[in-house]
Amino acid sequence: MDVPPARLARWLDGFAERHGGSPEVTAGPDGLRLAAPDGTVAVLHPPPGVPGPDDLPADLPTFLAAAEAPRRLGLLLARKGAVAVGVADGDRLVVSKVDSRYVQGRTAAGGWSQQRFARRRDNQAKAAAADGAELAVRLLLPEVGRLDSVVAGGDRRAVDTILADRRLAPVAALRVERLLDVPEPRHAVLVDAISAARAVRVLLRDP
């Protein structure tokens, strides 16, 4: 599950209440490991822009403070022919641009027609990726020195194609593993993505 930083302290209180008391906290390769008295384990993965567990003391107050601290994140959302690029400072979207280009859907036709439609769709997808790369060059590249990380969302192949542009190598170097699950990118989707990008990912394991 993903827990917004503002709700994390309350979630941790509830975790202790539900599972028999205060958990034992240790640092692991993926984040902070909380072992509850009843055997339930929760692993808190640091959100994008927060130092990994090797750089954080194994205590919850420090982790909470780091998760709640405002960070400057680059956002790149791409799905089909739509692309949204932005910069978030804390929970505010300070720079943004959305673009869309028609990309034909798949066809059930066979033979020559199917091949023709496939080539057309491929060309349309490449043009959409080129537009997305231009947006990222304009909005994210100048911000590279101030970004804590870059969070992508949507279709992984579309995002990978955009970031394959050689000019965006510094942006790609800041990209985190997390891929946000978002609908077709629009301005409202980009705004909502800020909360998802800042969220603490929690992995629960029952005893």
Is the same domain home to 27 and 96?
A: no
Q: Residue 126: what pLDDT?
A: 63
Q: How many domains are there within the chain?
A: 2
Is the same domain home to 48 and 80?
A: no
Is the same domain home to 96 and 180?
A: yes
Q: Residue 125: what pLDDT?
A: 55
DSSP letters spanning 82-141: EEEEEEEETTEEEEEEEEE----------HHHHHHHHHHHHHHHHHHHHHHHHHHHHHTG
Spatial contact of 32 and 66, defined as CB atoms under 8 Å apart: no
Is the same domain home to 84 and 171?
A: yes
Is the same domain home to 180 and 160?
A: yes
Is the same domain home to 122 and 55?
A: no
Range of the domain at 102: 72-197
Is the same domain home to 191 and 104?
A: yes
Q: Residue 122: what pLDDT?
A: 58
Is the same domain home to 173 and 193?
A: yes
Is the same domain home to 65 and 120?
A: no
Is the same domain home to 84 and 38?
A: no
The tens place of each residue's pLDDT in the chain, 207 residues long, gives 999 998 999 999 999 999 999 999 988 788 899 999 999 999 999 888 887 656 666 788 888 998 899 999 999 999 877 899 999 999 999 999 998 654 445 444 444 456 655 555 555 556 667 888 999 999 999 999 999 999 999 999 999 999 999 999 999 999 999 999 999 899 999 999 999 999 999 999 988
Is the same domain home to 64 and 125?
A: no
CATH no. for residue 122?
3.30.420.60
Question: Which residues touch 86 (CB under 8 Å, ≥6 apart)?
Answer: 74, 75, 93, 94, 95, 96, 97, 139, 190, 193
Q: CA end-to-end span of the chain, whole Å?
A: 18
Question: Which residues touch 114 (CB under 8 Å, ≥6 apart)?
Answer: 107
Is the same domain home to 187 and 148?
A: yes
